[in-house]
């Protein structure tokens, strides 16, 4: 499976990530997308700045976009494969949004999600 099928990063998300990364000193080499256990629906998307690309977990997939490296935590790949990461800014909300075809539920505030488990 190629990294681009795991996560698509929109131009708006890439631009915002680039702003965040270039504002840091020293400049991080990558951004990592992971999933943590949190919230009322069970899981939450998490973004972390990686000071060095060598800090990425073993077997992590990478997406290169607009001169930026986005690392996909291997533990998250199962939950986010096929997702799109976008950035939205409005009067009521600004932040990264994930459009995830694997989601089966999302909490009312939109902060956490769940996926169906296979038994």
The CATH number that applies at residue 66 is: 2.60.300.12
Q: What are the contacts of 88-97 at 24+ separation with CB within 8 A?
A: 88/12, 96/13, 96/16, 96/45, 96/47
What secondary structure letter does DSSP report for 52?
S
pLDDT, tens digit (0-9, with 9 covering 90-100), for 53-104: 999 999 999 999 888 999 999 999 888 899 999 999 988 888 998 888 877 7
Domain that holds residue 8: 3-115
Cα(119)–Cα(105) distance, rounded to whole angstroms? 18
Residue 4 predicted with pLDDT over 80: no
The token pair at 32 is 């990592």
- Stretch 27-31: mean pLDDT, rounded? 96
Residue 45 has pLDDT above 60, yes or no: yes
Whole-model pTM?
0.81
Overall domain count for the chain = 1
* Residue 2, pLDDT score: 45
């Amino acid at each position: 499976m190629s990294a681009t099928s795991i996560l698509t990063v929109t131009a708006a998300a890439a631009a915002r990530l680039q702003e965040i990364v270039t504002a840091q000193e020293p400049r991080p080499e990558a951004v990592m997308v992971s999933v943590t256990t949190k919230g009322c629906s069970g899981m939450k998307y998490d973004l972390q700045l990686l000071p060095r690309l060598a800090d990425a977990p073993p077997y992590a997939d990478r997406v290169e976009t607009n001169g930026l490296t986005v690392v996909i935590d291997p533990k998250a790949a199962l939950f986010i494969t096929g997702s799109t990461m976008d950035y939205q800014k409005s009067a009521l909300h600004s932040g990264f949004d994930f459009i995830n075809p694997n989601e089966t539920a999302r909490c009312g505030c939109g902060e956490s999600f769940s996926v169906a488990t296979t038994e």
